[in-house]
């Protein structure tokens, strides 16, 4: 079903000033890294090293081998010391390969750099697969798959909107890695046989727009499209609609567009230039619950507790920890989970008592829902577990953007009720299929 877009009129207080101009810290002193043996939701991962093996930064240590191929790489040099299973940011226990860091950061690029101007489309797609390039905006979807099946693409849309409050990782990396960004975008255009690319950036970032425009000088097939600073403008459907005034059913390919996060383009450009996969990530650690908010360059597999310590530690004993931003991120119960190739932020907020009152029937949650849902009605039918009505109210179209909770004057966590409703509908639907 095609989603209608809601009004998109909410400008959120982004709190971006906490980190957008701070120095980028480097975290290099983690004694161990824990490479999560997972990609997306798939744990069908073959481990390619054994206890005692010496590895380098860039050694391929494991590979997802099911519907997609996604290699996983060591982010430090040192010794494999085993496996441990603990909570992952997807909120499930996951096995992790444990590597003891020798702090030498000896690097062995696992593949040769590739000149995108000389490589064929097929060679670039293979390279993207073997380099383990995944969607860095939080999803971790294997990038090569988008290009393998791309057809009739007129534009590569690079999503540099970063609309979630607190997160500035994309903003910072775009400023730092313009050359790699252009190489990645050109390679994406070639893989999709797309004649042009558009980089979407918030109009409220004129300095960044100027920097990126300078970077793309001489590439008349790449342009910048300033978008309004409203939430959730960075949602794929919203940004596609904003730029092309077109809606799609399941995938942007239906309207001739492939969308990639800007950090993904930078990761691909870096791999093509250096032969190195994603072994480190820039992660925003921000919120009023951390003492010194910063962006941190951190090896994949470092525990979040170490990242928070690098930023001065917690500002309170009572904090809420989100993998991602406060609107769409996942709330974690402890800080032992690790940074993945697709982590972009850790948000730490001081928890405060909420004076929740009854629903005022004000309709603000419906008026501001980008998927044009009726969150308050969904919550009512969730309470009575009315499966048929929840289906009729299209609860699965919810993108869990958090806007209904944010906007609610009664401080009701409307989004949490919607999440429960989605789980109920999905579980019932799965049970019906089995019958």
> Among 73-81, 126-134, 242-250, 405-413, which window interacts with ligand SF4 (CB under 6 A)?
405-413
Among 370, 382, 387, 393, binds ligand SF4 (CB under 6 A): 370
375 binds ligand SF4 (CB under 6 A): yes
Which listed range, 17-25, 83-91, 110-118, 397-405, lies at the site for ligand SF4 (CB under 6 A)?
A: 397-405
Cα–Cα distance, 267 to 281 (Å, whole number): 9
Q: Is 290 in the site for ligand SF4 (CB under 6 A)?
A: no
The one among 170, 262, 364, 421 contacting ligand SF4 by CB under 6 A:
364
Check: CB of residue 4 under 8 Å from CB of residue 371: yes
Q: Which is nearer to ligand SF4, 8 or 133 (CB)?
A: 8
Residue 75 or 371 having the CB closest to ligand SF4: 371
The answer to the question of residue 404 lying near ligand SF4 (CB under 6 A) is yes
* Number of Cβ atoms within 10 Å of the Cβ of 144: 23
At residue 82, φ and ψ (nearest 5 deg) are: 135, -160
401 is a site residue for ligand SF4 (CB under 6 A): yes
**Helices marked H in 177-333:** 178-192, 206-215, 236-244, 262-274, 304-310
**Minimum distance of ligand SF4 from residue 247's CB (angstroms):** 15
Range in contact with ligand SF4 (rule: CB under 6 A) among 97-105, 138-146, 288-296, 395-403? 395-403
Q: Give the CA radius of gyration of the chain.
A: 22
Give yes or no for residue 210 binding ligand SF4 (CB under 6 A): no
Buried b or exposed e, range 380-391, using 16+ CB within 10 angstroms: bbbeeebbebbb
Distance CA 420, CA 425 (A): 9
The nearest distance, CB 395 to ligand SF4, in angstroms, is 8
Q: Which two tokens stand for residue 253?
A: 């390919």
Site membership for ligand SF4, residue 371 (CB under 6 A) = yes
Main-chain dihedrals φ then ψ at residue 263, nearest 5 degrees: -65, -30
Residue 106: CB partners within 8 Å, gap ≥ 6? Answer: 56, 57, 77
Single residue of 12, 70, 418, 425 touching ligand SF4 by CB under 6 A: 418
If you search the block for the tokens 């009512």, which residue do you land on? 380
Would you say 322 or 404 has its CB closer to ligand SF4? 404
Note whether 425 binds ligand SF4 by CB under 6 A: no
Alpha-carbon distance of 215 to 135, in angstroms, equals: 22
- Does 373 help bind ligand SF4 (rule: CB under 6 A)? yes
- 340 interacts with ligand SF4 by CB under 6 A: no
Q: How far is the CB of 317 from ligand SF4 (least distance, A)?
A: 29
Q: Is 298 in the site for ligand SF4 (CB under 6 A)?
A: no
Of 124, 412, 421, 425, the one binding ligand SF4 (CB under 6 A) is: 412
Q: Which helix (H) or strand (E) holds 418?
A: helix 414-434
Q: What is the DSSP string of 154-182?
A: -EEEEE----STT--HHHHHHHH-HHHHH
Cα–Cα distance between 360 and 353 in angstroms, integer?
20
Q: Between 61 and 404, whose beta carbon lies closer to ligand SF4? A: 404
Q: Which listed range, 43-51, 261-269, 411-419, 427-435, lies at the site for ligand SF4 (CB under 6 A)? A: 411-419
Q: Is 156 in the site for ligand SF4 (CB under 6 A)?
A: no
Question: Measured between alpha carbons, how far is residue 411 from residues 100, 214, 238, 358, 405 in Å?
Answer: 45, 44, 26, 9, 7
Question: In this complex, which beta carbon is closest to ligand SF4, that of residue 100 or of residue 367?
Answer: 367
- Helix axis angle for 206-215 and 178-192, nearest 10°, is 70
Instruction: Quote the least distance from Cβ 320 to ligand SF4, whole Å.
Output: 17
- Other CB atoms within a 10 A radius of the CB of residue 195 amount to 11
As measured in angstroms, the least distance from the Cβ of 4 to ligand SF4 is: 11
361 touches ligand SF4 (CB under 6 A):
yes
Token pair of 348 as six digits: 């730490």
Task: Considering the complex, state which of residue 57 and residue 167 has its C-beta at the smaller distance from ligand SF4.
Answer: 167
Out of 338, 369, 390, 425, the only residue in the binding site for ligand SF4 (CB under 6 A) is 369
- Contact with ligand SF4 (CB under 6 A) among 106, 400, 413, 416: 400
Angle among Cα 105, 108, 111 to the nearest 5 degrees reads 145
389: contact with ligand SF4 by CB under 6 A: no
* Residues at the interface with ligand SF4 (CB under 6 A): 359-365, 369-371, 373, 375-376, 398-404, 407-410, 412, 414-415, 418
């Amino acid at each position: 079903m095609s989603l209608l877009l809601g009004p998109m009129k909410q400008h959120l207080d982004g709190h971006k000033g906490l980190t957008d101009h701070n120095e980028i810290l480097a975290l290099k002193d983690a004694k161990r890294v824990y490479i999560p043996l997972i990609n997306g939701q798939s744990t069908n991962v073959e481990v390619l090293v054994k206890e005692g093996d010496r590895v380098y930064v860039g050694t391929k240590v494991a590979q997802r081998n099911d519907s997609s191929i996604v290699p996983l790489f060591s982010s430090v040099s040192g010794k494999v010391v085993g496996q441990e299973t603990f909570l992952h940011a997807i909120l499930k226990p996951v096995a992790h390969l444990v590597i003891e860091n020798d702090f030498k950061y000896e690097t062995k690029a696992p593949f040769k750099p590739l000149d995108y101007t000389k490589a064929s489309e097929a060679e670039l797609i293979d390279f993207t697969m073997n380099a383990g390039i995944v969607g860095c905006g939080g999803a971790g979807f294997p990038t090569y798959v988008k290009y393998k099946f791309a057809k009739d693409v007129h534009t590569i849309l690079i999503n540099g909107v970063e609309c979630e409050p607190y997160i500035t990782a994309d903003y910072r990396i775009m400023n730092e890695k313009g050359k790699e960004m252009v190489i990645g975008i050109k390679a994406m255009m070639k893989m999709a046989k797309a004649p042009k690319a558009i980089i979407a950036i918030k109009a409220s970032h004129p300095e960044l727009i100027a920097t990126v425009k300078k970077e793309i000088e001489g590439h008349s097939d790449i342009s910048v499209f300033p978008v309004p600073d409203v939430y959730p403008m960075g949602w794929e459907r919203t940004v596609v609609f904003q730029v092309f005034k077109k809606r799609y059913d399941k995938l942007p390919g239906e309207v001739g567009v492939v969308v990639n996060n800007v950090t993904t383009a930078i990761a691909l450009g870096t791999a093509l230039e250096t032969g190195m996969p994603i072994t480190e990530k820039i992660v925003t650690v921000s919120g009023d619950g951390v003492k010194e908010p910063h962006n941190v360059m951190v090896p994949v597999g470092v525990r979040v507790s170490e990242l928070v310590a690098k930023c001065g530690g917690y500002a309170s004993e009572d904090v809420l920890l989100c993998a991602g931003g406060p609107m769409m991120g996942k709330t974690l119960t402890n800080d032992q989970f690790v940074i993945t190739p697709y982590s972009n932020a850790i948000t730490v907020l001081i928890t405060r008592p909420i004076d929740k009152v009854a629903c005022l029937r004000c309709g603000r949650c419906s008026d501001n829902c980008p998927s044009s849902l009726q969150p308050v009605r969904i919550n009512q039918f969730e309470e009575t577990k009315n499966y048929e009505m929840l289906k009729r109210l299209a609860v699965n179209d919810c993108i869990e953007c958090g806007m209904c909770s944010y906007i609610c004057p009664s401080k009701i966590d409307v989004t949490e009720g919607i999440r429960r409703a989605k789980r109920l509908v999905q579980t019932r639907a799965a049970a019906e299929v089995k019958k």
